[in-house]
Amino acid sequence: MESETPSFRFALEYAGESVNCEVVMKSACYDILFDDRWMASIEHTDDFTWIQASGVILPESIIDEIGLRVESEYK
């Protein structure tokens, strides 16, 4: 039996287009997929901010928006 990795999806405006953003929980970060394509990994810092750990460089506003969604989803 396979274990299911926690994830959720939402619509996100990126580069002038609406994309299906999926956030996949990992042990030390969250993987970010746009329209089922891996884009980046983000992490929550000790200062309670979100940073991009790897991937395509995303605008800080996008990272912040995704981070807020994560916080809302996993209160």
At 37, which CATH number?
3.30.1880
SS3 for 60? helix
Structure token pair of residue 62: 């996008």
Q: What is the structure's pLDDT at 10?
A: 98
What string of pLDDT tens digits covers the 75 residues of the chain? 455 889 999 999 999 999 999 999 999 999 999 999 999 999 999 898 999 999 999 999 999 999 999 999 987
The number of folded domains in the chain is 1
Q: What is the pTM of this model?
A: 0.90
Domain extent for 65: 7-73
Q: Return all residues near 30 (Cβ < 8 A) that are at least 6 apart.
A: 23, 24, 41, 42, 43, 66, 70
**Is 2 part of any domain?**
no
Q: Is 62 inside any structural domain?
A: yes
